Structure 1
Amino acid sequence: MLKNLLLILLIFLTLIIKAQDFSTKSKKAIKYYKSAIFHFDNNKTDIAVKELKRAIKKDNNFIEAYLLMGDIYKVRKENQKEINTYFKIIEIDENFFPYIYYNLASSELRIGEYEIAKSHFIKFLKEKKVRKDIINIAEQKLKQCDFAIEQIKNPVKFNPINLGPNVNSIYDDYWPALTVDGKTLITTVMLPKEEAYISLHDSTQEDFYVSYLKNKNWTKATKLSSIINTPFNEGALSISSDGSYCFFTACGRSNGYGLCDIYMAKNENGKWTRPVNIGRPVNSKYSEKQPSISSDGKTLYFSSNRPGGKGNMDLWVSTYENSRWSEPQNLGDSINTFNSEISPFIHHDNQTLYFASNGHMGMGGYDMFVSRKDSTEKWSRPENLGYPINTFGEEFGMIINSEGNKAFFSSDREKVTGRDIYEFALPEKIKPISVNYVNGFVYDSKTNIKLEAEIELIDIETNKIITKKTSDKTSGKYLVCLPTNKNYALEVNKKGYLFFSENFSLKDNNNSLNPYLINIPLHPINIGEKIILKNIFFSTNSYELKKESFFELSKIIQLMNNNPDIKAEIAGHTDSTGTKEYNIKLSQNRAKSVYNYLIKNSDLKSRLTYKGYGSSMPIATNNTILGRSKNRRTEFIIITK
């Protein structure tokens, strides 16, 4: 918008210079006008307006004074005054400045007067002596009017609810961030600066505040941390799914690489560490802002004006590999435009991206959009979230809870309280995939000491690792997000221990949003210790291995290769359904199938045996469906070390 304003102002001044004279003969009016230009150039718009009013008082038909007045009102976002000024120019001489209807229509578009703006864009496009690039912009804005008119005719369901005085302050509150459990909310608050830090051009600062959900109510927001908050600006925080670390934007820091950089801080034992600049290659001599970290902590999305982009601000992505961030990649033409894309939010499903853009077709200003990653890792064409979620104003900074049914955003719709945080139910069409999670801690089964261990979440249909992370080295705590559109294997590994195996069947499971709490015991590699292999699958009454078993079988091979002295038995078990003889035979055949796969894909034949135990060794009751499913199992048992 600023670029377009400067372009029109440049055209206007060029026309005046070429004309060598003014629409007025009053020397005093011209003197006041030139004084206004000087003050406007020096950002003293109040004085410039006073000078222009003095000029107009000398000649009420001084068109150049009105044109500059309109430009100043545009900069100051005094839209109605700007519009009134352009109508005055048209009343005097509508042919004096060929771009007057473009200016007027653009102003009307900014306040949502779409029908009348459309008529004035059409009138402007009949002009012959105008620049082609301005014609192109006008044609695009005309399409925007048509789009907005159609959106208003077909509104989406939208009922925003203010989060109230516990979350919102008397100042502007914005950029919400939420943990995956929905219980920790961090916001950015625009505060008055302490007197010692007030500068000539800046009397406010941004700090982070935090509120907690307790008994279905938000606690009174308090400052997040004196270590993170400073007398300067910190904003647009993104918190990890488990709340153990965060990324945020800070500008003008002495250790910065550019105007604005991305920083990271950790939460250790309830206290935040001193933030560190995440450095190159993410940060550059340009501006990197508004980070959003994926639920597995491996992918960072952000907005930047660095070279190689498509427009003013683009969305970029970097992945954490080998203990460092990769060279950022532009998200490409499907996401980025010739204008600006900002405020990315990657949902906990790692597949649905929300962001704001003033380049994609919208209602005016920044609109919010959604795009989804397909199976080839490409982003879909962005979809406008619709009216009245989007309006003629500036909409950005929206986040979505893990369940995908509730959005949080900032708005100044209640003018008395400034910008506040609101929530609303997300329309079905723009929802992400619902996400559940499993959390707990990892510990030594013998000593109860908490362990740092590697945790892998695997899509068992594709055998692709979805998430790879480690439990906390001190507390053993972990949290893994579980998008509810797949079935998963969870594998937990640590050198010197047998791996832990768990299965989550969430595909087509409508009751899959209750979080799982699993404290994971890892067993040292000793004779008699066993793994219940929960990701070995057979068809009912069959001993043919399903392909979903292959990842877990590869983990057994890896375990034995890493521990060449151990020998093991593959043990098959059934429930009590069927005869004793049938169950012995079925369990024997299933154990043999696992054995055959392992020796076919490795050189472990001399170190493996197998046996079927039928229903003779239950670990749960056979009187329930759940109990019988636990008894149908395959085990890996250490027999020699």
Structure 2
Amino acid sequence: MYQDAYVEEFKITALPNKVNSKYSEFGAFWKDNNTLIYSSYNSDKLIEVPAEEQFVPPVNLYETKKSGDDWKKPELVKDFSHDYLHSANGSYSLNKKRFVFSRCGQNTTNQIKCDLYVSDYKNGSWSEPEKLGNKINLGSYTSTQPAFGVMSRRGHKTEVLYFSSNRPGGKGQLDIWYTTFKAGDWTEPINCGSAINTIGNEITPYYHGKTKELYFSSDYHNGLGGYDIFKAYGGLKSWKRPENMGITINSGYDDTYFSWREYLKDGTLVSNRTGSRSVFMENCCDDIYAFNYESLSIIEGLIVKNDTTMERLPGVEIGLADLTHLEYPDSVNWISESDDKGSFKLKYKPGHDAYVVVAKEGYETHYIKISDLSKASASDSLPHIAMINDLKWLEKLDKIKNQDVQVLSEQSLSKRVKKGAVFVMEHIYFDFNDATIKPEAYQDLTLLQSYLERNKNTVIEIGGHTDNLGSSEHNHALSQSRADAIKEYLVGKGISASRLIAVGYGEEKPIAQNQFESGADNPEGRRLNRRTEVKILK
């Protein structure tokens, strides 16, 4: 519903039903710009295996071609198919003359074990697939999901094969390993290291040689649920810290087999996210999804406790909210948090404005437009967002022993409300000398609107209050403008104007000291006095 509030680098669509059957489609990768290879049963009907049969029908490799927005009917890749073993997870060498893929079957303990096979293109045809040597395929351990890469050094290119395996010497369960092709043979596999591999599973590697980026899926690196897709810069066993590919590429389910068709333009991934086709139950089976990439801009900044000390604030939740849906409580898409130095980095669509929302327990939630941050970055190399301590109205009202004023909340409005009751709207803030309603106010305004809609005969007074900075006349006019702004908002939501009385009290009714007895300024007292109240008149 709130798509514009999300920073979407990728637009995701499922491939048509002629490609995605009700069984799983997986292992998708691009042979060229028009040809997609993948693995499937290629069946929409439930496959039943009679008890007397000794094996399950195998998964095989299929090929489909993209023509504009259309996809051709898939065809079996006969050169690499097998009558009894599952054939899947292929990868072509850079010159397209070598093909490595997985063949899998049940071992003696009825577990699926995979080995890597290779076929070479010679004299106009593909050779009979052969199992790679014992360096790669090791005993009862699985070796699967190969992905060709390249290592360039001093103008010399060496072919690299990344793959996933649970072989001994790993960091966890399935790890990503690599081997290089030297002197006509593959070298002893080496683990890609702890930057990539964890105590969980790392699978489905895909290496983009031009940018030196490894794309892979993990169920342990910090993600959204299930397997998430990550990318890391580097090669062999030297990698930068992996980066989660984000909320549109990744779902709460298993997201795997990321592959570019054209870099920074489009490609495919595999997922069992909600909406995937299934022969059994929801989310049981994988489908292939196409994605289109949209370039984004990046803005960096700092979050500090206040403008005076500029003390940096770590662990602040950071989200984005669409300008047009601020009244809905779920319109904030929380996507990040400030690091241990209070720094943050956000991606956003050029030309699309949104609110950056920052929240942390003990501080008031703050909204600031991306356009305002961008303007600040033009003069300040690292723009900052200053947060303010939460006033904790309940505690403050109790401390100043003001028994006549309550805090507007779901709890306070759920009880029987008596005539004369007064509620302070704790999230109503206005900029200095301004009567424009800020986004932080919508949670209180929505709550008040809902109460008035349930209680059709209730009449309220909206009271605006200020501190004593400025002249009495100015403060009275300012508080009246602010009360009028709230009344106009509620009228715009369908509440009759006859039920809303807007009154600006200015500085006449403080509930806290504006100055201490010593004459020093009392900033917290002034904030308490700059309040908006609702009084039940009828």
**TM-score, scaled to structure 1:** 0.39
Greater RCO structure (CA 8 Å; 6+ sep): 2
The structure with more helix, counted as a fraction of residues = 1
The structure with more strand, counted as a fraction of residues = 2
